[in-house]
Structures are given as C-alpha cells and as structure tokens.
Chain A
C-alpha cells in the first residue's frame, strides 16, 4: 500500500499512514476549512487498509486541537477501525494528550464510550 505522509500546518494535522512500517498517526491541530476534502484521501486509505489490515494496528492520535467538524471525521475513522476489530484483528488506540488539557482527555473518553476498541491514554511530554 502507498504511504500517506502529510505535513501539518496551523490548520491541518500531520498524518502518517504507513502499513509496511506499521505506523498510523494523526497529530497536531485539525481545523481545516473543508474537513471533508482534507480527510477524503485519508478515509479512502483507511477503507482500503481495513480490507486487509495488519494483525495488530496501533493507531496514535496526538491532537492538540480539533474542531467539531473534525471530531466527526475522527469518529468515522474510529468506526472504520472498529470494523477491523470485528474481523478479529487487534486494534489499539493510543490517545495522547497534554496533562493539563482535560478537554482532549474527555474527547478521547467519549470516543472510547462509542466505539468498542481498547483505548490507551498517554500523557504527552512538552
């Protein structure tokens, strides 16, 4: 599979999706003007990945900020990953947050409520 490696900006996140090296990470800020356009190739990639995933997928979210529209896309990504879990493959979400950013932890917990994927919460160092 091709590798997605998008460098982040002030408004868009860093995205690394690399099946070969088992790297899955979305980090930084996500408040693109058009959420759907930005995330479309990412969703397509994950759709394709879900067809033939690795035995274990560790997906890292290291988001500092995301807007409401992005939050829905993140949920879509998690729902797609949940399908992988339903096909008896391991998926772990590593949800990174800064210790003093309670809202990011809460956001993670809300996602964990919705999808049946194990979440690990990791405190980010500065």
Chain B
C-alpha cells in the first residue's frame, strides 16, 4: 500500500470513527437501522405480494429501486458519524490555535514586565513575534543607555571628587598629593606621581604616591625626555602597557614580581599651555575606556587650577609689590610737595635779584661799549685771567690779531688747543711765576696756530694785579711779533749761510748777469792762489786764472740766461795743488720780480772720487772677468743641446741664467745603457748659486756612478743627505737654508722605462698630444732639518714609456717670470707651458726648442729677469 493511500485510510478512519459513541448508543443505532430496513421491505412486499416472507424479501430485491432504498437507509447512520467526527476535528484544531495565541501573549506580557522591572539581560531566543522583537530592541537600547549613563556618572563623580580637592587647596604641593591620591584611588590604580612644569623646560616631581603611602622623590625631568617628557611635549595623554623594567624604581622593592602592567601619563594643560604631568600605574593592562575620558577631563581641570594657582601667586606678589610701591610714592609725594614750596620761594628771590641785576647790566653795557670800540682796533690785545687761570676778559682785537673773523667764536689768545707743547709750557711757567709774585711782571714768547694754519709768534707781558681791586686778576698784553721773528730768523740764516760758505772746502762764487764777481769764499783763494780782495768786483774775463774755468763760466752765463735752468758739469782746472777735477754747479738766483739777478757757482773737488771710481771700474772688471771665467768653467762641465742630442736626437735645453753664472743647471749622465737627466735649481742665482750648483753637479755624478740600481727617488734621497752633509747643515746650530729643487729622470731604453722623482718640481709627459703631469714631492734638497719633524722620502714614479713620448722638466725661472702684455704684470705660469705643449699634437721638439725662448723673451719684455731659466725637453 502506498503512503498516500495509508494517509487517506488514516483520514477516513478518523472521520468515520465511532469512538465518540457509547456502546448502548451504538447498539440502538444498529437496531434502529435494521428495523428501518425490515420496515421498508415489509411495506414494499405488501404492495407487491401482500405477504411478508423471506422469499418476498428476495423477490423484491429483484427490483433496483429496493437496492436504492436499502442504500439510503444504510447511509443514514454513516452520514451521522461523519458529521459528528468532522465537527469534532474542526473544534480540536481551533482549540489548539487558541492555546498557541494565549501562550504568545503571556510571554510578551512577561517580557514587558521584565523590561518594566529593569531586568535587561534578555533572552534573544524569545524573539519570535514582531512585538517581542520591538520589545527586545527597546530593552537593548535601554541597557546601552544605562551603561553609558553609568560611565558618565562615573566620570562626573570623578570630576566632582577631584574638583572638590582642587577647590579646597590653594597651595600646589598639598593640592598635588591630594589630587594624586584621589586619582589613584578612584581609577583603581596602584601608584602615581605628579609633576609641575616650571615654565623653563623642566618638569619637577612634587608628589609621588604608591599603595596608600606618600613618597617624596625629588626628580626633575626635561621636557621631551623619557615617557613623561615626551607626553609633556606632545600634550597628549599616553597609555602604555609595555613598561620598561626600570621605569618605576619605586615599585621594584614593594611590588616584587607584581609590576604594574599599565601606565597612564596625562599632561596637565591650560589652553594648550603645559602646566604639569601626572602618571598613574595599574596592575592590569585592561583599563576601561572611561579612565581615559576622565583623564582627558582632568588634564584640563587640574591644568586650569595649577595655572590659576600660579597666577594667584604672581598676582599676590604683584599686589604686595604695588602696595609697597604706593607706600614709597606716598612718601615721595610729600617730599616733592615740600620741595615745590621751597623752589617757589627761591624763584621769587631770584626774580628780585634778576631785576636788580638787569638795571646794573644796563649801566655796565654802556661803559663796555665804549671800551669795546677802543679795544677792537688796538694792535695788541689784553687778557685778564683769575688766579685759577680762567679767562675773565679778553679784548675783541684778539680775533683780528690771531687771524680769525669777527663771527668766529671761542677765540682765546692762550687756547691750549692751539698752542705748541713748548708754548703751553711757557704760558704755564709764566702763570706760575706771576701767581707766586704779587705785583710781578714778566714777558714771554710763544707760538699760536692761526685759523689758516699758519704759525703766529706772540709776545705777551703778564702782570699780577690780583691785589688791585679794579682788576683782581692777571693781566696780559699780547702782540704779534711774527714779522720781527721772521726778520730775526732771516738774519740768523744769512749769517749761518755766510759761515757755511766761509768754511766750505768748495769754491763758491757769485757772479752777476754782467759777469762781475760779487762774492767769493776763502776756498777760491786756496784754489786759484789769488786773494779774495783781488777777485771781488772784477769781471771774470779779467782774472788771471785757468782759462778753461773762465771759458766755462762764460758759457754757463749764456746758457742760464737763455734757459733759466741750473747746470752741472765736470771740468779740469789747474790749481795751486796741480790739476784738479771739479764738479761745478751753476745756480740761477732771482730777485723779487723774478728776474735773473745773479748766478751762484759751487765747485766741488771730485779728483779723489774720480780716482776711486777708476779703481772701482778696474775692480769691477776684474770681478766680471773672474765671473766670466767661472762661467766658462761652469758651461764647460754642463751639458748643452748639442751634447744631449748625441743621445736623444730630438731634444733641447733652453738655458738662460739671470746673471753670468747660474744657480740653475742642466745635468746629464750616461752610465752603461742608462741615462740620467735633471733640471736643477739651486737656491739663489749668480755666484752663490753657481757654487752650490757645483756641489749638486758632482754629488749627482757620484751617486749615479756608485750604483746604477738606485731609483730616481733614491738618488734624490742620497743627494738630499749629501748636500746637507757637505754644507754642514746637519750639525748643531747650523742655520743653512741653501739647497736645491730639481726634477730628475732616469731613462732605461732597454726596458722602455722612465723613472721620475722631483723635489718641488714636476715632470710633464706629452703622449699623442695629451699631457700627463707627475707632481714632484713637496720637499726640497738640503736645508737644516726641521726640529721635531719627520722627513718623508722622495716618491718614485715608474713610467712605461712609448716611442715618441715627449718629456719636459724645468726650473721655476720660466713659470715665475713676470711680464705679459697687460697693464698688471703677471707670472708666466706653469699653465702657459702646459697649454703650449698640448696646443697642437703635430708640434715637434724642434718647434718647442724655438717656441719657448721666443715666448719667454716676448713675455719678459722690458721687465727684468727674475731668476735663472732652464727648460729641458726630450723626445724618447
């Protein structure tokens, strides 16, 4: 049987169940049905046969109509059962639904009751109806709000608590510890510290509190340093859970292994201005959010209070100061009042005496004007000084006499500023004398500087009239004696000149324009052997003296008349002492109108000088001969272009000593298959340079002759010590600075190797038109060793050269030569050499051998040669 059929059967069973009938009812119903059936059959039988038997029953059942009636009768009880069951099932269903609805509403009532009572921990599962859902949401919102409210209450309570403390203390120290205590307690922290910012970059720890006990730890932390300093700098609270082990030195002993796990550092600020910091530590690292919110609130609250306290303190101070100030001012005011009264009195007094004075002045003024007129035009001026050397009066004529204008102010006849030191002393002595001598009189002279800078000679006569009641001073009469002085001086000069002339060994003759002798000095008599009286006032042509002299004077007269110029000449004249060589000067003399008046001849005997000059010339010649000879010796040993070209056909030596002999020298040496060439520059030039050059020359020869394996640098080292030893510069107390600079090349053609070492000198190597510079060592050859300094050795350069490489070595004479076409003369410069060497790669050695001398002489132009010049070029 299928499942569906089973279900249908089950359903049919349900609908046709007779379980609702009692047994009696069932029997009654069954009997009634059977009765109805028989009753019907009896009726029908009676209609058909009239009799009722079993047969008639069968018989009537041959008719379908009877079957239909049977069916109707039988269906009656079945229909009844069905209806009864149908109703029963329907009712059961409705009842069930009703129950369900009742349950729902009961639950919702319960929910609502719970919410009403404030039990908000609701079971979400209960939400299976719309109303429940709404209620649940309402409940959750209420719960959330309540939590929020709790937090807010907690924060506001905390704020109230702290605020109470803040209100009740007005001193930072006690305030801070109380606040700290409360914060720790309220936040359930374990310890904390409080810092005050001193406004100068430091945070001062003023309260520390741990586990109910107050601690005092004086600690200062600069802003920006450490956690606290950083917080102070950022002005933002910080919560840290990783706390450095040594962070709280305080805790380590007390807490043992229970170190705080959370640390909250809060800056205290007022309007973004740092006031302090507090920190609190927690045992747990889970610190509720509200603590931070409270911290932020407290940051401002406490900051504001600290700020207020500071301000209060300052205000108190200011108030105190201002009170003190007021006190002082009050006192001063009284003093001032007193003074004002006194001043007023004094002023009245003054006004009275002023009036009196004015009338007196008026009187004096008239008298003064009279005197003024008298004094302004006097040829001398009068000064009156008191005993303290202060000027009381001076006549107005002082300005005119001293060369000043009337509107110049502060002109004084004895102005110390305008007196010479000597004049100042003189005046002081005069005062001294006069003060010591009542009634005394003395005259003194002094110089004074006029306005135009000229010197003025003054004579003053001083008289002590201190005792005279009309004067009561020292009176000085002063006049200008410049002209007198000048005349006196001229007179003196004249007589001095006269005496000079009279005693001069030179002949001095004055002749007027017509050739007449006006004056001769005694020397003339000595020279020409004729007494002066026979010479004066005679014409030169009339004299019996050497005609060569007469001739000279005549010619000079003509020449000076024409050209108005001094002449000087040498002539030989016969004197009483034989032939003398005289140097004669003819000097024109003019009168006041600038016309030629006379000519002064001064003849100086230079015979001796001439002799010495001659000797000097001879000596000089000997010296130059000797130097020239030395030069021949020097040049005989030194290589020249020709000898160098025997080994290096393309090579040249440009050698130009400053003097005849030279401190620079080229050096060339060949030993077996090795060539040595050097450009050497000895200190100095001329003879001393040359002498040094010989030492260098032979030392170099000896060194390379000893061992041909010496490198170029080793040769320089040996030369260095050789020179030092030879010049005894290595001995104590030696002061020798002589030595040499040089560039040395050792050329080994077999190996194709070139070695270079330089003492202050470089090597230029030109390869394919490119220049490579090898700088020498910064060290010279020779010279006294420097104290306390280690000498370095020379550096050796080893160069693999190629055929056609050109090398150039030179002394500093060429680069140092002053010259050039420009206004400001310049040095030739090593750069100019380098530029010439790379100008054109096709330039040959022959070209350079012509170019450098030409360029050097053009550069030098009219300048003198500064030093010996040496340049060696070799093409390898």
Contacts and interface: CB of A to CB of B under 8 A. Distances in A.
Contact of A103 (B683, B789, B815, B866): B815
Given A65-B818, A68-B780, A69-B684, A100 B789 contact: no
A65 B741 contact: no
A79 interface: yes
Interface string A81-122: 000000000000000001011110010011001100000000
A42 to B, nearest CB: 14
Interface residues of B, number: 28
A106 B816 CA distance: 14
Contact of A100 (B684, B741, B780, B829): B829
A113 B778 contact: yes
Interface string B661-703: 0000000000000000000011110000000000000000000
Interface in A62-80: 64-65, 67-69, 72-73, 75-76, 79
A72 to B, nearest CB: 3
A126 B789 contact: no
Nearest to B681: A68
Which of the listed residues B682, B812, B827 has the most CB atoms from chain A within 10 Å of its own CB? B827
Nearest to A79: B786
A26 interface: no
Nearest to A86: B788
A32 B533 CA distance: 56
The secondary structure that dominates the A interface is helix
Contacts of A109: 778
Interface in A30-67: 31, 35, 64-65, 67
B866 A31 contact: yes
Nearest to A31: B866
B64 to A, nearest CB: 150
A100 B831 contact: yes
A15 to B, nearest CB: 18
Which of the listed residues A35, A68, A106, A126 has the most CB atoms from chain B within 10 Å of its own CB? A68
A110 B741 CA distance: 14
A75 B780 CA distance: 12
A10 B866 CA distance: 10
Nearest to B824: A126
Contacts of A106: 778
A98 B827 CA distance: 10
B462 interface: no
A84 to B, nearest CB: 15
B737 interface: yes
Given A65-B816, A73-B737, A114-B786, A101 B829 contact: yes
A65 B816 CA distance: 7
Given A65-B816, A67-B684, A68-B681, A102 B786 contact: no
15 contacts: A35-B737, A64-B827, A67-B867, A68-B682, A68-B683, A69-B738, A72-B783, A98-B826, A100-B829, A100-B831, A102-B829, A102-B830, A103-B829, A113-B778, A126-B824
Given A31-B867, A68-B739, A69-B738, 8 more contacts: A35-B737, A65-B866, A68-B812, A72-B783, A73-B737, A76-B737, A103-B830, A126-B824
10 tightest A-B CB contacts, nearest first:
A72-B737, A68-B683, A110-B778, A69-B683, A69-B684, A65-B816, A126-B824, A101-B827, A69-B737, A67-B867
